[in-house]
Amino acid sequence: MAVVTAPMDIKKKVTVSWSGGKDAALALYKIKAQQFEVVSLHTLIDAETKRVGMHGVHEQLIDMQAEQIGIPLEKLYMHRSGTQEEYQNTMEAYYRDCKCREIDGVVFGDIFLEDLKLYRENLLAPFDLLAIYPLWKKETSTLLSEFVSLGFKTMVCAVDERCYSNNILGQTVDENFVNKLPNQTDPCGENGEYHSFVYDGPFFEKAVQYRTGVQVEKKYSYGVVNNGKTVHRVSSFWFQEIYLQMD
């Protein structure tokens, strides 16, 4: 009897944790060049505002990103007043579903936050899913320069007022932006200094057309994982209102 063996080049199936920002986009770019099959992007969205977390970007824009990238988007909704337990339950339910669909791992755009990495891996462990970090421990100024040189186009959509003035909101992250970054902040905003919205890049069929509106200041409560414990903080953030430009 002939023995049938599986092809050696079968790619592992992965889903990408998608914020719509530059780190997620660069992680996707790098993982697509490796032996992985990207079956979906997944995004956590505020059930009331229909926006993506700290980015403040409306889900319509994230939908359009996914459409231009050509990868299905899976949206996970959570109430703004939700607790850490609700977040954990939401993600565990999603990871359980991923396992049922024979997805092998989850791709993250994290760079150097060890506690966050450990937290993610602990969430994934019960479902035997790989945690994949294409950007891990790379020098952040080098990553940002690479991102720009690859032809990605991204604009600043949110800033922590402790780190940046709101006058950088709406700016495109280009070589000029990179050269003017202050030394005291991380170039990629890995500590939450700023967030971005990617509107074009190497794997976009065409650029996402958008227009900007007003800038809004908000107090934001959030949790930071520190030494295995979640520390709750309140900061003031500026957000750039962005609208999908309809033809």
CA 85 to chain centre: 21
Domains of the chain plus CATH, in order, are 12-244 (3.40.50.620)
In this structure, what is the dihedral angle of CA atoms 107, 78, 222, 142, given to the nearest 10 degrees? 20
Judged against a pLDDT cut of 70, whether residue 2 lies above it is answered with no
Residue-level pLDDT at 43 = 97
Buried-exposed string 201-215: b where 16+ CB fall within 10 A, e elsewhere: bebbeeebebeeeee
> Mind listing the pLDDT tens digit for each residue in 109-152?
999 999 999 999 999 999 999 999 999 999 999 999 999 999 99
| 112 within 8 A of 188, measured Cβ to Cβ | no
Confidence of residue 11 (pLDDT cuts 50, 70, 90): confident
Residue-level pLDDT at 9 = 61
Q: Nearest CA to 26 among 204, 119, 152?
A: 152
Residue-level pLDDT at 7 = 46
Buried-exposed string 115-137: b where 16+ CB fall within 10 A, e elsewhere: ebbeebeebbeebebebbbbbee
Q: Quick count: other Cβ atoms within 10 Å of Cβ 52?
A: 25
Q: Nearest CA to 46 among 15, 73, 19?
A: 19
> Mind listing the pLDDT tens digit for each residue in 153-170?
999 999 998 888 899 999
What is d(CA 164, CA 84) in angstroms, rounded to the nearest whole number? Answer: 28
The helix (run of H) or strand (run of E) holding residue 15 is strand 12-17
Q: What is the largest CA-CA distance in the chain?
A: 72
| 143 within 8 A of 111, measured Cβ to Cβ | yes
What is the percentage of the chain residues whose pLDDT exceeds 90? 73
What is d(CA 36, CA 170) in angstroms, rounded to the nearest whole number? Answer: 34
Q: Kindly state the average pLDDT of the residues 226-239.
A: 79
